[in-house]
Amino acid sequence: MSTQQSRARARAARRRHLQQRQTVIFGTLIAAMLVVGLAAGAMWVGILPSPFSVAIRSPEPSTSAATVPCPPDGATFLPLEDITANVLNGTSRAGLAASTSDALSNHGITVDQESNAEAPYSGTVQIVAGAEGLAAAFTIAELFEGAVIETDSRGGATVDVVLGANFEALRAEDEIAIDPDAPIPAATDCTPLSTASPSAEEG
């Protein structure tokens, strides 16, 4: 056998050995990746417990944590025709603001704007008003089951009606009884709000 043939056979043997090593290495890596993937999937669906105890938290929808404001002293419920409201959809349900605006309009309320809320709302209905709109807020709250009232520093009497995840519909007609001459009752734990207006005339 010639020296050239011996060298060729040696090179072929080394090539086969290298290919075998590569096959073993890549096969091991692929098997390890499959095991890790299956374990991760089992943890995801809850079959296996996770080795990590760090809780994963996501932003929570906004909900009311404020105290209940008191109605203005001596305030009575308003005729629904005297109320102007913005209707804001705090859910992912398409068309909720539009359908609720129609329902409020049928009661005589003027709907100024209808749009999506800036943040999701996890409650039922949140009614936001400034000092001048508190009587309107307490009146329109009578149309909803589980409505909460909050205040901000806005001027004017227009209120925001924020529809939340638990909202279904307005109260039935026979459940709504608003007497414009009746005083607005105050909750025992309500927080008084100053009704002083920065735009009031001086002197």
Lowest mean pLDDT among 18-27, 37-46, 155-164, 186-195: 37-46
- Locate tokens 């949140």: which residue? 126
Shared domain check, 142 and 106: yes
Q: What is the pLDDT confidence band of residue 202, given thresholds at 50, 70 and 90? A: very low
Same domain, 44 and 126: no
Q: Is residue 5 part of a domain?
A: yes
Q: Are residues 27 and 91 in the same domain?
A: no
91 shares a domain with 47: no
Query: Is there a domain that residue 68 lies in?
Result: no
Residue 135 and residue 88 in one domain: yes
What CATH number has the domain bearing residue 133? Answer: 3.30.70
Distance from C-alpha of 126 to C-alpha of 162, rounded to nearest angstrom: 5
- At 7 the pLDDT is 73
Residue 34 lies in a domain: yes
What average pLDDT does range 174-185 have in this prediction? 90
More confident residue, 200 or 65: 65
Domain check: are 119 and 159 in the same one? yes
Query: Does residue 57 belong to any structural domain of this protein?
Result: no
Please indicate, yes or no, whether residues 86 and 153 belong to a single structural domain of this protein.
yes
Report residue 141: phi and psi, to 5°: -65, -25
Q: Is there a single domain that holds both residue 110 and residue 37?
A: no
Domain end call among 52, 67, 95 = 52
Bigger pLDDT: 45 vs 96? 96
Q: By mean pLDDT, which of 14-18, 46-50, 78-82, 185-189 is the weakest?
A: 46-50
- 15-66, pLDDT tens digit by residue? 887 788 888 888 888 888 888 877 777 666 666 665 654 444 444 454 444 5
Please report whether residue 193 resides in a domain: no
Considering the domain architecture, whether residues 116 and 156 belong to the same structural domain is answered as: yes
Looking at the chain, the whole-number percentage of residues with pLDDT higher than 70 is: 81
- The dihedral built from the CA positions of residue 44, 45, 51 and 55, taken in this order, carries a sign that is positive
Which domain range does residue 129 map to?
Answer: 80-175
Domain membership of residue 199 (yes or no) is: no
- Give the distance from CA 174 to its chain's centroid: 31
| End position of a domain, from candidates 35, 52, 69 | 52
**Domain-located, residue 91:** yes
The whole-number pLDDT of residue 49 equals: 64
Residues 5 and 47 both lie in one domain:
yes
Using one digit for the tens of pLDDT, what is the confidence trace for 112-143? 999 999 999 999 999 999 999 999 999 999 99
In this structure, are 84 and 141 located in the same domain? yes
| 38 and 92 both lie in a single domain | no
64 is a domain residue: no
pLDDT of 172 strictly over 70: yes
Helices (H), 80-175: 96-106, 134-141
**Average pLDDT value for residue range 88-92:** 96
- Residue whose tokens read 């080394």: 14
Report how many domains make up the chain: 2
